[in-house]
């Protein structure tokens, strides 16, 4: 399998947020500001790559019966490491993300990739898969959180964009606004994806 | 789903697709009936529009015009983008615009109705498939959107006289002005009116009836709204069941919840109850079509309204209760669907 | 049976490796975390009582003696400039709109509120969460402790602070908390200082 294909599979074709719609709870909760969205995305990417690599390494020594607890231990270890380092070196971010950092353990994306990809593929492919999924997740969070921060606070990455006369719509900082924006983004993303897919089909048919 | 509205929109699509065909008259006739219904609603709203300008001044008229215009513009733009036939001529966007403006305080800034109609038309109506397919009343959904987005603008009401800067609505006075510990009972959205409500006095019942009280533009005048409602009932545009059961249940629930007798009439005349019961809870698309379903809808909305007003955090609960019942409508219809004769039970 | 032991052993090895990895990363980060925590709390104290240079936390017994039944005051610090006691900081937990809200208030020895800072909160973004913004917290600065503080939309008088629009619950929770601290300071701490000076 080509590595670039594995990578773009995670970013576009099977984007964890826009296509697979998994791990939504923390997505809706942390995307109130662009900074938080980016940090959460990077934390998840780090855990994804780490756990994918280790799961791929131990996939042949771990018996099938205990693979789930073994994977969970690996994932929980990486999440705890990320949590410790975040607390030590980026405490503001840690405070902003709060409970959602330890909750990465139960984020379905990570176990899903360990189970469906890393436990069946080699080290390099698993690392690239983790990176691709992580980048896809981070991009989705970044887009959503930039929109929410802009509409709900009038700023992006804490930089005020619109003057004081702009009155931000608080709803976009609250759960309903997150759902509405996410729904619209999923719609746009998939209509673009569908158009490209049908284009590809057309090209293939022409090639014949 | 309302069969009439659905048939019409379908018929219209057919009519538009077969532009070059000479079709027989039923298309034209049914096409007119949607327009006619919507036109009737606009006529019925006219007394309240005139009244709102009389009570709240030209700013009310400005807000109504902005709201209607922006609703129509958004409808045209989004239908163009979606490659749908542009259906401004069914007047439904005009009604949505009027109802959005009716839910605003008279001193709302000009962009508030624009934001509201954008949400109502684009997100609630067209994203779900346009007229006949929206799952909620667009105007009420817009009100909920505006209330949680800009609570300070949506909850500060102007008095009907120009010299009164900002006052509390009768419902807010009843909720916050009576108890000894005013501040403790205040909540997020109602907070601004809560501080004003403390110590304010209730208006006379006559003023409540004709509409010379603080409140949203179109909801205050019970008299003018009832004139419009009577017109709709006579023209058989709306069914009596939802409003009657809605108002009746609200009254009974308020009594059961221990609201004192002297406040009952204020509850019935105040807030958006009359506007909601006759003009919003009777929306064809988002309310049940079955007779029993309509009765259930009215009772449910009545229970919710009374509960929110008496036990809830907000002084007013009409919009949320109708929205909640809108969402429950498919379920109600499923359970009250009349069985076709000879149908096998499964 | 044999298989069970084998599975348990493998799982044990995995967890053992995980535990040792965590132990290593903990030893790397724990000092920094403690340092960062200390710095953050120090910074907060400096923010609400900027005239002090050093802080000394009152011990359990002294704290109990001062707050009495008001156990929602969780910490009191004395602020010193050189060897002079210049004021106090109080940590208090109150009930906000979204849940518990912890904030810190500083009171200087000359009977003025020197600042407040919200430490932990779960308030609604854009409404109650504005309690962390300077336009709200700064309005408490310089208020005298001898009169009851009230929140209004446009503060004018000496005892009026900025109310948060559409977030009355949050505003009242904080204002009530400040008033409680104000009271406790006046009753228990302001006189004591005088006595200490006389001694």
In tens digits, what is the pLDDT along chain C, a chain of 199 residues?
Answer: 688 898 899 999 999 999 999 999 999 888 888 888 888 888 888 888 888 888 888 888 888 888 788 888 888 888 888 888 888 888 899 988 888 898 999 988 888 888 889 888 888 777 788 888 888 888 888 888 888 888 887 788 888 888 887 777 888 889 999 998 888 888 878 765 444 443 3
B176, B188, B313, B315, best to mutate vs chain C, most C CBs in 10 Å? B188
Chain B: give the shortest CA distance to residue C97, in Å.
8
Helix, coil or strand: residue B167: strand
How sure is the predictor about A2, in pLDDT bands with cuts at 50, 70 and 90?
confident
Interchain proximity C165–B188, CB inside 8 Å: no
**End-to-end C-alpha distance for chain C, whole angstroms:** 79
Give a yes or no: residue C157 inside a domain: yes
**How far C145 CA lies from chain B's nearest CA (Å)?**
22
Report pLDDT for C192: 53
Closest by Cβ to C11, choosing from A69, A80, A85: A69
Residues of chain A in Cβ contact (below 8 Å) with chain C:
32, 58, 61-63, 65-66, 69-70, 73-74, 76-77, 80-81, 84-85, 87-89, 91, 152-153, 168, 170, 173-174
Mean pLDDT of chain B: 79
**Confidence (pLDDT) at B185:** 33
Say how many CA atoms lie within 13 Å of C24 toward its Cβ: 7
Backbone phi, then psi, for B282, in 5-degree steps? -105, 5
Instruction: Identify the closest residue of chain C to A169 by CA–CA distance.
Output: C126
Distances, alpha carbon B173 to alpha carbons B162, B286, C171, in Å: 20, 32, 21
* Mean pLDDT rounded to a whole number for chain A: 88
Minimal-distance CA residue of chain C relative to A70: C11
- pLDDT at position B165: 41
Alpha helices by DSSP H, chain A: 3-8, 24-30, 34-58, 67-89, 91-97, 108-113, 123-153, 175-207
d(CA C36, CA B127): 48
Q: Which residues of A touch B324 (CB under 8 A)?
A: none
| Antiparallel, parallel or unpaired: β C113-120 and C100-108 | antiparallel
Give pLDDT, residue A132: 93
Nearest CA in chain C to B155: C166
**Closest approach of B178 to chain C, Cα-based (Å):** 17
Q: What confidence score (pLDDT) does residue B148 get?
A: 86
With contact defined as 3+ CB pairs under 8 Å, the chains touching A are B, C
Minimal CA separation from C66 to chain B, in Å: 27
Interface with A, mutate which of B148, B150, B154, B191 (most A CBs under 10 A): B148
B interface test, pick of C166, C173, C175 with most B CB neighbours within 10 Å: C166
**How many residue contacts between B and C have a Cβ separation below 8 Å?**
35
From B183, B184, B191, residue closest to C167, measured CB to CB: B191
- Does C169 contact B at CB distance below 8 Å? yes
pLDDT in tens, A3-41: 888 888 888 888 888 888 888 888 888 888 898 899 999
Q: Tell me the HSE value of C34 on the side-chain side, using a 13 A CA sphere.
A: 5
Cβ of C10 within 8 Å of Cβ of A70? The answer is yes
Comparing A49 with C126, which gets the higher pLDDT? A49
Nearest CA in chain C to A71: C14
Partner-chain contact C127 B188, CB within 8 Å: yes
Which chain A residues are Cβ-neighbours of B115 within 8 angstroms?
A: 169
Question: Which chain C residue has the Cα nearest residue B151?
Answer: C166
Question: Chain C 123-142, CB below 8 Å of chain A: which residues?
Answer: 124-127
| Domain span including residue C85 | 49-198
User: Per the CB < 8 Å rule, is C166 touching B194?
Assistant: no
Shortest CA distance from C170: residue in chain B: B188
- Describe the crossing of helices B92-102 and B26-56 by its angle, rounded to 10 degrees: 20
Q: Are A169 and A152 in contact (CB under 8 A)?
A: yes
pLDDT reported for residue B121: 93
Is residue C138 situated within a structural domain? yes
Cβ-Cβ contacts under 8 Å for A5 (sequence gap 6 or more): none
Do the chains contact at A171 and B151, CB–CB below 8 Å?
no
> Mutate which of C6, C16, C23, C33 to disrupt the A interface (most A C-beta within 10 Å)?
C33
pLDDT, position C144: 86
User: Min CA distance, A100 vs chain B (Å)?
Assistant: 25
Which residue does chain B place closest to A171, by CA atoms? B149
Q: What is the rounded distance in angstroms from the CA atom of residue B190 to the CA atom of residue A137?
A: 38
Q: What domain count does chain C have?
A: 1
Question: How big is the CA angle at B261 (ends B255 and B265), to the nearest 5 degrees?
Answer: 90
pLDDT at A147: 93
CB distance from C194 to chain A under 8 Å?
A: no
The segments of chain B whose pLDDT lies below 70 read 1-32, 156-168, 173-201, 313, 343-346
The string over B220-232, giving b where at least 16 C-beta atoms fall within 10 Å of a residue's C-beta and e elsewhere, is bbbbbbeebbebb
**A88 vs C32: CB contact, 8 Å cut-off?**
yes
CB contact under 8 A, C166 and B152: yes
Q: What pLDDT, on the 0 to 100 scale, is given for residue B160?
A: 47
Domain membership flag for residue C62: yes
Shortest CA gap C185–chain B (Å): 25
Comparing CA positions, the residue from B188, B212, B190, B194 lying closest to residue B56 is B212
Query: Which of B125, B149, B154, B327 is the mutation pick for testing A, counting most A CBs within 10 A?
Result: B149
> Is B182 an interface residue toward C (CB < 8 Å)?
no
Q: Is C127 on the interface with B (CB under 8 A)?
A: yes
């Amino acid at each position: 399998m080509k590595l670039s294909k594995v990578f773009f599979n995670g970013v576009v074709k099977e984007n964890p947020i826009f296509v697979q719609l998994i791990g939504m709870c923390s997505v809706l909760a942390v995307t109130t500001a662009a900074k938080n969205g980016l940090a959460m995305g990077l934390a998840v990417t780090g855990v994804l790559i780490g756990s994918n690599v280790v799961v791929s390494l131990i996939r042949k020594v771990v018996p099938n019966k205990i693979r789930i607890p073994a994977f969970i231990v690996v994932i929980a270890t990486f999440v705890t490491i990320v949590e410790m380092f975040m607390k030590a070196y980026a405490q503001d971010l840690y405070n902003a993300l709060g409970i959602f950092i330890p909750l990465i353990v139960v984020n379905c994306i990570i176990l899903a990739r360990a189970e469906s990809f890393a436990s069946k593929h080699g080290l390099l492919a698993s690392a690239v898969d983790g990176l691709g999924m992580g980048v896809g997740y981070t991009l989705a969070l970044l887009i959503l959180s930039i929109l929410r921060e802009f509409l709900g606070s009038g700023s992006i990455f804490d930089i005020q964009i619109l003057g004081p006369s702009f009155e931000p719509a608080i709803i976009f900082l609250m759960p309903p606004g997150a759902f509405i924006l996410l729904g619209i983004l999923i719609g746009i993303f998939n209509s673009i994806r569908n158009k490209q897919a049908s284009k590809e089909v057309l090209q293939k048919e022409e090639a014949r | 789903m309302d069969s009439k509205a659905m048939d019409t929109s379908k018929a219209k699509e057919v009519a538009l697709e077969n532009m070059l065909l000479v079709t027989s008259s039923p298309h034209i006739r049914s096409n007119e009936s949607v327009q006619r219904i919507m036109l009737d609603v606009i006529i019925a709203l006219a007394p309240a529009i005139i009244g709102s300008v009389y009570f709240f001044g030209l700013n009310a008229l400005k807000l109504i015009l902005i709201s209607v215009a922006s609703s129509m513009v958004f409808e045209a733009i989004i239908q163009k983008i979606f490659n749908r036939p542009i259906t401004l001529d069914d007047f439904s966007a005009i009604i949505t615009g009027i109802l959005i403006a009716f839910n605003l305080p008279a001193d709302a800034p000009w962009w508030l109705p624009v934001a509201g109609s954008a949400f109502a038309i684009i997100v609630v109506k067209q994203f779900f498939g346009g007229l006949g397919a929206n799952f909620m009343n667009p105007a009420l959904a817009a009100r909920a959107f505006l209330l949680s987005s800009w609570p300070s603008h949506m909850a500060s009401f102007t008095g009907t006289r120009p010299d009164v800067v900002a006052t509390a609505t009768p419902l807010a006075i009843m909720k916050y002005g009576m108890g000894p510990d005013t501040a403790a009972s205040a909540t997020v959205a109602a907070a601004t009116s809560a501080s004003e409500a403390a110590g304010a006095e209730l208006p006379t019942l006559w003023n409540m009836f004709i509409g010379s009280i603080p409140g949203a533009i179109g909801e205050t005048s019970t008299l003018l709204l009832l004139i419009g409602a009577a017109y709709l009932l006579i023209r058989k545009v709306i069914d009596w069941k939802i409003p009657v059961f809605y108002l009746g249940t609200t009254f009974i629930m308020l009594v059961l919840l221990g609201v004192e007798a002297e406040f009952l009439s204020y509850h019935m005349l105040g807030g958006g109850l009359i506007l909601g019961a006759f003009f919003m809870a009777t929306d064809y698309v988002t309310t049940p079509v079955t007779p029993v379903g309509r009765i259930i809808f009215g009772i449910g909305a009545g229970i919710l309204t009374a509960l929110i007003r008496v036990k809830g955090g907000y002084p007013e609960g009409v919009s949320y209760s109708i929205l909640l019942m809108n969402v429950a409508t498919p379920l109600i219809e499923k359970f009250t669907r009349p069985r076709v004769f000879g149908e096998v039970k499964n | 049976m044999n298989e069970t032991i084998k599975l348990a052993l493998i799982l044990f090895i995995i967890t053992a490796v995980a535990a040792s990895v965590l132990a290593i990363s903990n030893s790397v980060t724990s000092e920094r975390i403690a340092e960062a925590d200390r710095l953050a709390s120090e910074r907060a104290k400096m923010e609400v009582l900027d005239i002090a240079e050093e802080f000394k936390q009152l011990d359990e017994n002294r704290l109990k003696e001062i707050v009495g039944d008001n156990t929602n005051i969780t910490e009191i610090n004395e602020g010193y400039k050189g060897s002079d006691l210049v004021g106090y900081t109080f940590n208090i937990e109150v009930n906000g709109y979204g849940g518990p809200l912890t904030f810190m208030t500083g009171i200087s020895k000359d009977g003025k509120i020197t600042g407040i800072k919200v430490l932990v909160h779960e308030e609604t973004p854009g409404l109650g969460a504005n309690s962390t913004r300077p336009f709200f917290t700064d309005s408490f600065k310089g208020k005298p402790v001898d009169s009851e503080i009230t929140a209004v939309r446009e503060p004018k008088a000496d005892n009026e602070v900025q109310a948060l629009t559409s977030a009355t619950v949050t505003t009242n929770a904080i204002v009530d908390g400040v008033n409680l601290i104000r009271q406790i300071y006046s009753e228990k701490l302001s006189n004591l200082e005088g006595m200490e000076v006389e001694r």
